């Protein structure tokens, strides 16, 4: 059986879902990041000076863009798949001859599209405040794509395991946000005391933010190859775990 139609159906459904509710999905990140750029970039940033040879505004733009990609690719999948579970219309997919990998790929693709669209919108807003230009498009786009994939998949696992709406807000609020802020979005990890530098190495977001910043302005605290390997490794592990959960029917079958 050709599963491309089923895959396309899920992806289109997901894209229409977040576009239909654009005041909840696309508008808030535009406003929030505009405030970031105005307050941290322009008002405070001008007094900070440079980091690793880049102006503070140039330095934070890639991190803020990637932070938006992370939170929105995650949020899209976790809220959409959990709602599907909550309303029981996940049964439409379970009854149909849709393989688990198509279900996973469909929802994750929806999350990737939203993450990248929000990243694009935030990038456009950054251009209003700063004339930062991308130095290496290939690295920038591939890091954005891989990061969106990774966090869309993490959102999927969260949704599968969640048993209440509280469960889908705990990880974004208490894990994802702190990791993003401590992942070198607003500062260079080399500015931290040694002990905090060592602890930061365990934060996967640090690698992605630095790789993305390298693509943007050519500045990084970590090895780019290592960042790609780490991200690819995390994606592989999360994909296998997601497929295992779907195969077992955890949270979606009796």
Partner 1 sequence: MKALSLRNLRKTYNNGFEALKGIDLDVEAGDFFALLGPNGAGKSTAIGIISSLVNPSSGTVRVFGHDLQRERSQAKSCIGLVPQEVNFNQFETVKNILLNQAGYYGTPRKLALQRTEHCLKQMELWDKRNTVSRRLSGGMKRRVMIARALVHAPKLLILDEPTAGVDIEIRRSMWKMMQEVNQQGTTIILTTHYLEEAESLCRNIAIIDQGRIVENSDMAGLLARLHVDHFVLDLAQPLAEAPIIDGYQLELAADKVLNVAVPKESGLNNLFGELTQRNINVISLKNKTNRLEQLFMDLVETKSAGGKQ
Closest approach, Cβ 51 to partner 1, in A, equals 45
Q: How far is CA 225 from CA 2, 180, 228, in A?
A: 36, 21, 5
Closest approach, Cβ 94 to partner 1, in A, equals 6
CA distance 158 to 78: 6
Contact region with partner 1 (CB under 8 A), list: 81-89, 119-127, 146-154, 161-169: 81-89
Under rule CB under 8 A, residue 42 binds partner 1: no
CB-based burial label for 14 (10 Å; 0-12, 13-18, 19+): buried
Under rule CB under 8 A, residue 100 binds partner 1: no
Under rule CB under 8 A, residue 94 binds partner 1: yes
CB-wise, 4 or 225, nearer to partner 1? 4
Using CA of residue 50, residue 55, residue 57, residue 59, what is the dihedral sign?
A: negative
Under rule CB under 8 A, residue 84 binds partner 1: yes
CA distance 244 to 156: 12
Indicate the DSSP class of residue 189. G
Under rule CB under 8 A, residue 43 binds partner 1: no
Which one of residues 43, 92, 165, 232 is an interface residue with partner 1 (CB under 8 A)?
92
* Binders in 10-29 for partner 1, by CB under 8 A: 10, 13
Which CB contacts under 8 angstroms, 24+ apart, belong to 248-252? 250/160, 250/161, 251/85, 251/160, 251/161, 251/162, 251/163, 252/85, 252/90, 252/94, 252/160
Which one of residues 53, 218, 233, 249 is an interface residue with partner 1 (CB under 8 A)?
249
Which one of residues 88, 128, 191, 237 is an interface residue with partner 1 (CB under 8 A)?
88
Under rule CB under 8 A, residue 118 binds partner 1: no
Q: How many CB atoms lie within 10 A of CB 46?
A: 11
Which one of residues 51, 61, 77, 93 is an interface residue with partner 1 (CB under 8 A)?
93
Closest approach, Cβ 17 to partner 1, in A, equals 8
Q: How far is CA 247 from CA 99, 244, 250, in A?
A: 10, 5, 8
CB-wise, 94 or 224, nearer to partner 1? 94
Which residues of this protein are in contact with partner 1, per CB under 8 A? 1-3, 5-6, 8-10, 13, 84, 87-89, 91-99, 249, 253-254
């Amino acid at each position: 059986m050709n599963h491309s139609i089923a895959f396309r159906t899920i992806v289109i459904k997901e894209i229409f879902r977040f576009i239909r509710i654009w005041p909840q999905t696309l508008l808030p990140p535009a406003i929030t990041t505009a405030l970031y750029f105005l307050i941290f970039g322009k008002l405070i940033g001008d007094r900070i000076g440079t980091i690793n040879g880049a102006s503070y505004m140039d330095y934070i733009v890639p991190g803020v863009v990637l932070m938006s990609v992370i939170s929105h690719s995650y949020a899209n999948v976790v809220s959409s798949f959990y709602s599907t579970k909550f309303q029981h219309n996940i049964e439409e997919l379970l009854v149909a001859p849709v393989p688990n990998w198509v279900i996973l790929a469909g929802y994750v693709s929806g999350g990737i599209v939203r993450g990248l669209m929000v990243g694009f919108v935030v990038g456009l807003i950054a251009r209003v405040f700063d004339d930062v230009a991308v130095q290496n498009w290939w690295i920038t786009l591939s890091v954005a794509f891989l990061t969106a994939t990774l966090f869309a998949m993490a959102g999927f696992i969260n949704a599968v395991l969640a048993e209440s709406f509280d469960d889908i807000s705990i990880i974004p609020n208490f894990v994802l946000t702190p990791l993003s802020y401590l992942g070198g979005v607003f500062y260079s990890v080399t500015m931290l005391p040694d002990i905090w530098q060592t602890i930061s190495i365990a934060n996967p977001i640090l690698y992605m933010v630095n790789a993305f910043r390298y693509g943007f302005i050519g500045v990084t605290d970590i090895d780019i190859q290592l960042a790609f390997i780490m991200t690819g490794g995390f994606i592989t592990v999360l994909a296998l775990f997601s497929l295992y959960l779907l195969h077992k029917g955890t949270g979606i079958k009796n």
